[in-house]
Amino acid sequence: MRRGEIIAIGSELLLGGRLDTNSIFLSDGLAEAGVEVRFKTVVGDVEEDIVAVLRTAARRAEVVLLTGGLGPTSDDCTREAVACATGRPLRRRAGAVAGMAKQLAAWGRTPSAAQQRQGLIPAGAEVLANQVGSAPGFALRWQRALIAALPGVPAEAERMFALSLAPMLRRAMASETAERIERLTLHTLGLPESELEQAISGLVPRIGWIRLGLLASPLGVTVSLTATVSDNRLGQKRFGQFGEVLRNIRKKLGRHIYAEGPDTMEQVVGRELTSRGLVLALAESCTGGLIGHRLTQVAGSSAYLDRGVVCYSNRAKTELLDVPERLLIRHGAVSAPVAAAMAKGIRLRSQASVGLSVTGIAGPGGGAAKKPVGLVYVGLDTYQKNGTGKASTTQAFHFHGSRETIKLRASQAALNLLREWLIATGPLDRP
- List C-alpha distances in Å: 259 to 184, 225, 290, 311, 430: 11, 14, 20, 30, 28
Q: What is the mean pLDDT of residues 143-154?
A: 94
pLDDT of residue 389: 55
pTM: 0.76
Listed ranges 318-322, 363-367, 426-430; the one with the highest mean pLDDT: 318-322
pLDDT of residue 181: 73
Residue range 2-173 in CATH 3.40.980.10: yes
Which is more confidently placed, 237 or 281?
Answer: 281
pLDDT of residue 242: 82
Mean pLDDT over each residue of the chain, to the nearest integer: 90
Residue 99 scores a pLDDT above 60: yes
The percentage of residues in the chain with a pLDDT greater than 90, rounded to a whole number, is: 70
The predicted-structure confidence for 300-320, as pLDDT tens digits, reads as follows: 999 999 999 999 999 999 999
pLDDT of residue 202: 85
- Sorted by where each begins, the domain ranges of the chain are 2-173, 181-260, 265-424
CATH classification (class only), 265-424: alpha beta
Residue 429 scores a pLDDT above 60: no
Which CATH number fits the domain 181-260, given the four candidates 3.10.129.10, 3.30.70.2860, 3.10.20.600, 3.40.190.10? 3.30.70.2860
Q: What is the mean pLDDT of residues 113-135?
A: 92
- List C-alpha distances in Å: 146 to 42, 180, 338: 19, 18, 61
Q: How confident is the model at residue 431 (pLDDT cuts 50, 70, 90)?
A: very low
**CA dist., res. 157 & res. 161, Å (int):** 6
pLDDT of residue 179: 64
